[in-house]
Amino acid sequence: MTVTFEGKTITLTQDPYIDGVAGERPMYKAHGKDEDGNEFIVTWDVVDGYEEITDESEMCDWDRPIGIMSL
């Protein structure tokens, strides 16, 4: 899977995983690389009503990450 954020295209090197503190709104993260081999963590926000969702494919807008962080 590839995502684009602020003009940078990142190819994920792992499946997104849920992260956060119990009782607080979680987020999803995944490691990825750009075309130059630079490594990043890509982050997605969960959708409103996430508590009721059982299918992880519907937990986030996977085409719209909220951020990337260089490693």
Reported as a single tens digit per residue, the pLDDT across 40-60 is 999 999 999 999 999 999 999
Q: Quick one: tokens of 19?
A: 């992260």
Confidence of residue 34 (pLDDT cuts 50, 70, 90): very high
Q: What is the enclosing helix (H) or strand (E) of 35?
A: none
pLDDT at 62 over 90: yes
Confidence of residue 71 (pLDDT cuts 50, 70, 90): very high
Confidence of residue 23 (pLDDT cuts 50, 70, 90): confident
Task: For the chain, give every domain's residue range.
Answer: 2-48+57-70
CB-based contact 52:41 (threshold 8 Å): no
Strands 67-70 and 8-12: unpaired
Share of the chain above pLDDT 90, in %: 94
3 state SS of 66: coil
Pairwise CA distance, residues 40 & 5, whole Å: 11
